[in-house]
Amino acid sequence: MRVLLFGRLGDLAGWRERSFEPGPANLTALKALIAAQDAALGAALDGPGVQAAVDKTIVRGDCALAAGAEIAFLPPMSGG
């Protein structure tokens, strides 16, 4: 499974894309795995305004993850 970090999350982690093999079965487990490796990043993923997208669809709360899923963590957006 592929994990993507955008904006300040990528700077904080020092990576913007990583693969997790085998990937956790759900989003909560993925966040726990990331937090165990990098506590600051783990806290930031649960921070205000951070959304998660699974296969390019925003999800709220927990969500089952397929082996080949693409999970993106999105801090507050700002275009224009």
Partner 1 sequence: MIRLTTERFDPGAELTVFCAGRTESGAVASFVGIARGDAGATTALELEAYPGFTEVEIGRMAETAAKRFSLHDVLIVHRHGPIAPGEPIVMVATASAHRREAFEACDYLMDYLKSRAPFWKKQHGPAGPRWVEPTAQDLDDIARWE
| 23 or 75: CB nearest partner 1 | 75
- How far is 73 from 6, CA to CA, in rounded Å? 6
- The stretch near partner 1 (CB under 8 A) out of 19-27, 29-37, 48-56, 60-68 is 48-56
Minimum distance from CB of 67 to partner 1 (Å)? Answer: 20
| The residue to which tokens 């093999």 are assigned | 21
Candidates 49, 60, 61, 67: give the one binding partner 1 (CB under 8 A): 49
Question: Does an H or E element contain 54, and which?
Answer: strand 51-54
